[in-house]
Every structure is written in C-alpha cells, then in structure tokens.
Amino acid sequence: MEVSYQTEARSEGLAAAAWYEMQQDGLSRRFLAQWRETENRMASNPECHRCFEGELRKCRFSIFPYALVFRIKETQIQVLAVMHMSREPGYWKDRLLTEE
C-alpha cells in the first residue's frame, strides 16, 4: 500500500528528529531509522494494528515514545500524526477533517 503523510504529521516528525539531535549528536538518525522501520511495519500489514478511535489505528515505534496515527483509505495509508505517546492526547483530531 502507498503511504502518504498529512503535512502536519511530516512536520511534527521532523521537528521531533531535530529535537533529538539537539539532545545528542546522531540521535536524530536513530529516530529517523525507527520512523522508517515503523512505517515499513505499518505498510506491510496495516490491518493488524487495532482501531482505537473509529477507523484510526496506530503503530508504535519500538524504541522512541512515538506512534504513527493512520487510517486506511482504499489502497492508501494516510498518516495523520507522528504522535508523542505522552503529550497532549488528541491534539491531531482536527486533522480528521482534512483530506490530503
């Protein structure tokens, strides 16, 4: 399946990577590698991830406290958020109204 990101989701993921790099040199590379691994896991079998709000699903990163919040639309996976698991729950819900 093709994976697409809403603009805000991609931006928040890149902002998280930049924050990790400020904490420790090279840590952003580890974060980005985890993001890629999580995306590949999600795309290989998106329906194995449980729905948690209507049609929404999430696939957690293995190491970092993040998850990809996504929905399946026909032959596409739409990522709505690269969500920190402990901050501001539901901040991304207004993105449900946006179709990209």
- Structural domain including 52 reads 2-86
Q: Is the pLDDT of residue 99 over 70?
A: no
Asked whether residue 9 is assigned to any structural domain, the reply reads yes
Q: How far apart are CA 34 and CA 64, in angstroms?
A: 8
Asked whether residue 29 is assigned to any structural domain, the reply reads yes
Q: Write out pLDDT tens, residues 20-66.
A: 999 999 999 999 999 999 999 999 999 999 998 889 999 999 999 99
Asked whether residue 97 is assigned to any structural domain, the reply reads no
The CATH number that applies at residue 65 is 3.30.2310.20
Asked whether residue 99 is assigned to any structural domain, the reply reads no
Asked whether residue 98 is assigned to any structural domain, the reply reads no
pTM over 0.75: yes
Query: In this structure, is the dihedral angle defined by the CA atoms of residues 65, 94, 53 and 58, taken in order, positive or negative?
Result: negative
